[in-house]
Amino acid sequence: MNFYRYFWIFLLLINYTLFSQSIDSNFTLVIDPGHGGKDPGNTGNGYLEKKIALNIGLKIGERLKKYRNISVIYTRKTDVFVDLHKRAKIANDVQADLFISIHCDAHTSNAYGAGTFVLGLHANERNFKIAQKENSVIFLEDDYQQKYEGFDPNNPESVISLVLMQEDYLDKSIVAANFIQKSFVNRLKRRDRTVKQAGFLVLRNTFMPSVLVETGFLTNKNEGSYLNSNKGQNEMADAISEAIINYFDALDNPPKSFENLTQIDKYEFKIQISASKRLLPLKSYNFNGLTNLSVRKVGSIYKYFFGLTTNYNEAKKLLKKSKSSGYKSSFIVLEKNGKPYDLDKYLNEI
Residues that bind Zn ion (CB under 5 A): 34, 41, 103, 134
Question: What is the smallest separation between the CB atom of 126 and Zn ion, expressed in angstroms?
Answer: 15
Who's near 188: CB < 8 A, 6+ residues apart? Answer: 114, 235, 236, 239
Question: What is the smallest separation between the CB atom of 134 and Zn ion, expressed in angstroms?
Answer: 5
Who's near 63: CB < 8 A, 6+ residues apart? Answer: 237, 238, 241
Q: Give the CB-nearest residue to Zn ion.
A: 103
Question: What is the smallest separation between the CB atom of 38 and Zn ion, expressed in angstroms?
Answer: 14
Kindly tell me which of 183 and 215 has the beta carbon lying closer to Zn ion. Answer: 215
Question: What is the smallest separation between the CB atom of 95 and Zn ion, expressed in angstroms?
Answer: 25
Strands 210-217 and 98-105, sheet pairing: parallel
* Gap between the Cα atoms of 148 and 102, Å rounded: 22
Question: What is the smallest separation between the CB atom of 114 and Zn ion, expressed in angstroms?
Answer: 13
Question: What is the smallest separation between the CB atom of 308 and Zn ion, expressed in angstroms?
Answer: 33
CB 347 within 8 A of CB 299: no
* Gap between the Cα atoms of 273 and 293, Å rounded: 10
CB 304 within 8 A of CB 312: no
Task: Give SS3 for 281.
Answer: coil
Kindly tell me which of 134 and 268 has the beta carbon lying closer to Zn ion. Answer: 134
Kindly tell me which of 51 and 63 has the beta carbon lying closer to Zn ion. Answer: 51
Q: Which of 223, 177, 215, 193 is nearest to 349 (CA)?
A: 193
* Gap between the Cα atoms of 144 and 153, Å rounded: 11
Kindly tell me which of 33 and 61 has the beta carbon lying closer to Zn ion. Answer: 33
Kindly tell me which of 103 and 270 has the beta carbon lying closer to Zn ion. Answer: 103
Kindly tell me which of 198 and 293 has the beta carbon lying closer to Zn ion. Answer: 198
Using alpha carbons, list the distances in angstroms from residue 12 to 1, 8, 9, 23, 188: 17, 6, 5, 19, 26
Question: What is the smallest separation between the CB atom of 330 and Zn ion, expressed in angstroms?
Answer: 39
Kindly tell me which of 130 and 293 has the beta carbon lying closer to Zn ion. Answer: 130
Q: Please, what's the b/e burial string for 209-230 (b: 16 or more CB within 10 A of its CB; e: otherwise)?
A: bbbbbbbbbbbbeebbebbbee
Kindly tell me which of 34 and 153 has the beta carbon lying closer to Zn ion. Answer: 34
* Gap between the Cα atoms of 113 and 55, Å rounded: 19
Question: What is the smallest separation between the CB atom of 214 and Zn ion, expressed in angstroms?
Answer: 8
Q: Which of 165, 133, 136, 166 is nearest to 151 (CA)?
A: 136
Question: What is the smallest separation between the CB atom of 105 and Zn ion, expressed in angstroms?
Answer: 8
Kindly tell me which of 56 and 334 has the beta carbon lying closer to Zn ion. Answer: 56
Which residues are paired to 336 by β-bridges?
267, 339
Task: Give SS3 for 78.
Answer: coil
